[in-house]
Amino acid sequence: MNPIRIAIDAMGGDTGVGVTVPAAVSFLAAHDDARILLVGQPEPIAAELSRCGATAGDRIEVIAASEVVASDDPPAQAMRSKRDSSMRIAIEQVKAQRADACLSAGNTGALMAISRLVLRMLEGIDRPAIAAQLPNARGGATTVLDLGANVDCNAVNLLQFAVMGQALVTVLDGKAAPSVGLLNIGEEAIKGNEVVKEAAERITAAGLAFHGNVEGDDIYSGTVDVVVCDGFVGNVALKTSEGLAQMLASFLKEEFTRSFLTKASAAFAWPVIRSFRNRIDHRRYNGAVLIGLRGIVFKSHGSSDAFAFEQALRRAYDAARNDLIGNIAAALPRQPAAGGDGEHATPPASVHNRAMQVNRG
């Protein structure tokens, strides 16, 4: 079996090599069939590898890149002016088929812009979306998209997100027909703005396993497998869930160490408390995929620690091992056309069939 190769933007994120390199070393210790390409400035990468007791070799390759995309760089500037950035060079490894996936904790806007420029879109998809999993009360996770790539969306964009989200869950979770919900301010069909109403009609006509409108609490109750929304709403939902998880974790720690009696009670309750903390720990769900591209690109949270970044690495590895792009491209033709006119019409299946010819060169 060929090794799974992951290119890491080693300089990205709030901490850079202090997080990306230790996470890579730990990840490789648990995955014998993986190879890591660390892209960035060789000196700090080598120093961090040495601190971790590792060196570049058969399973770790260092690829030099002289520039770094800063968190406040405008996407257009990062795309046009920083052609030798660690982010761009990492993405280009996927384009050149030297890596099966790319992972960065850097500037989200820049990552999206550069990925779209370098890798291009799957045919039949207008815009890429950011898709990630959020824990739900059923013990699993709900896949939500878009989580910030597209602030303004039309109904066709939301339809395409539904198709890609369903295909993503089918590929990674093995569900034959994942249910899809459209995030709205109420379950009734009359609720929402005109874009959401039209999207509901198009998703229904496309023949997906459409549950209908869902509300914010349905994400965490596990009402559906996939929740579709525009990037503005999705990003707010994501950041809210992360903040809530951090608050609950801090509350549990403080409340169960406040008194002797509480400490004694906590000794018996600790297994349950620990399980609950793990369930709501947003770090365990780190790693969002930029779906719709002709290559696998994952985004880690910029403030991730090594544990969280390693979780994102595992997701990128699983996506590459399961041939996420090929399977999504193959799934797209099976969705009936939604109809419509002009550029807002969903291409017919004959057009979607060409998406199977995934160009990684």
Q: Is 60 helix (H, G, I), strand (E, B) or coil?
A: strand
Using pLDDT thresholds of 50, 70 and 90, give the confidence band for residue 142: very high
For the range 54-58, what are the long-range contacts, defined as Cβ-Cβ under 8 Å and sequence gap of 24 or more? 54/25
Q: What is the pLDDT of residue 342?
A: 36
* Least confident segment among 16-30, 160-174, 347-361: 347-361
Which residues fall within 8 angstroms of residue 241, CB to CB, at 6 or more apart? 134, 219, 220, 282
Q: What is the pLDDT of residue 238?
A: 80
Paired tokens of 265 = 């009670």
Q: What is the pLDDT of residue 173?
A: 81
pLDDT of 260 > 70? The answer is no
Question: What pTM did the predictor assign?
Answer: 0.81
pLDDT in tens, 306-335: 999 999 999 999 999 988 888 778 766 554
Domains parsed from the chain with CATH numbers: 4-125+292-322 (3.40.718.10), 129-282+327-356 (3.40.718.10)
Q: What is the pLDDT of residue 159?
A: 93
Which residues fall within 8 angstroms of residue 3, CB to CB, at 6 or more apart? 33, 34, 35
Q: What is the pLDDT of residue 349?
A: 34
Higher pLDDT pick, 91 / 303: 91
Using pLDDT thresholds of 50, 70 and 90, give the confidence band for residue 336: very low
Q: What is the pLDDT of residue 24?
A: 97
For residues 155 and 161, give the distance between their C-alpha atoms in angstroms, rounded to a whole number.
10
Paired tokens of 327 = 């399977």
Backbone angles phi, psi at 313, to 5 degrees: -60, -40
Q: Is 297 helix (H, G, I), strand (E, B) or coil?
A: strand
Using pLDDT thresholds of 50, 70 and 90, give the confidence band for residue 245: low
Using pLDDT thresholds of 50, 70 and 90, give the confidence band for residue 35: very high
Using pLDDT thresholds of 50, 70 and 90, give the confidence band for residue 42: very high
Q: What is the pLDDT of residue 209?
A: 94
Percent of the chain with pLDDT over 90: 60
pLDDT in tens, 78-120: 999 999 999 999 999 999 999 999 999 999 999 999 999 999 9
Q: Give the bridge partners for 182, in sequence order.
A: 213, 228
For residues 228 and 251, give the distance between their C-alpha atoms in angstroms, rounded to a whole number.
31
Residue pointed to by tokens 């899809």 = 180
Q: Average pLDDT in the 10-19 region?
A: 96
Give the amino acid at 159: L
For residues 45 and 253, give the distance between their C-alpha atoms in angstroms, rounded to a whole number.
35
Q: What is the pLDDT of residue 1?
A: 74
Q: For the purposes of burial, counting CB atoms within 10 Å of the CB of 248, is it exposed (0-12), middle (13-18) or buried (19 or more)?
A: middle
pLDDT of 264 > 90? The answer is no
Q: What is the pLDDT of residue 236?
A: 87
* Least confident segment among 81-85, 138-142, 258-262: 258-262
**What is the DSSP annotation of 123-171?**
TT--S-EEEEEEE-TTSSEEEEE-SSS-SS--HHHHHHHHHHHHHHHHH
Higher pLDDT pick, 236 / 352: 236
For residues 309 and 37, give the distance between their C-alpha atoms in angstroms, rounded to a whole number.
15
Higher pLDDT pick, 7 / 343: 7
Mean pLDDT of the chain: 84
Using pLDDT thresholds of 50, 70 and 90, give the confidence band for residue 284: confident
Percent of the chain with pLDDT over 70: 80
